[in-house]
Amino acid sequence: MNRRVRASEIAAFAYCARAWGYTEQGEPSQRQPERDAGQAHHSRRLRRAARSALLMRLGLACLALALVVLALRT
């Protein structure tokens, strides 16, 4: 079976090989609520970062437009 190994899998194995093995066998995690909260947190951060990048591009476009208008007025 050829599949990609994710960095998080290596970290999980390094932290606790037994827990990693249980996860590979499909055993449910006892800390599922914490995992879900972590995934939600990271999803929110990703959305904020994307919104921030969009606002940055919008701000740069406004600055460029202002410079063009200023150059045309002189």
User: Quick one: pLDDT at residue 35?
Assistant: 87
Fill in the amino acid letter for 36.
Answer: D
- Each residue of 35-71: b (16+ CB within 10 Å) or e? eeeeeeeeeeeeeeeeeeeeeeeeeeeeeeeeeeeee
Q: What is the mean pLDDT of the chain?
A: 92
pTM of the predicted model, to two decimals? 0.57
User: Quick one: pLDDT at residue 15?
Assistant: 92
Span 31-59, average pLDDT:
95
Span 36-62, average pLDDT:
97
Residue 13: closest CA among 25, 5, 21: 21
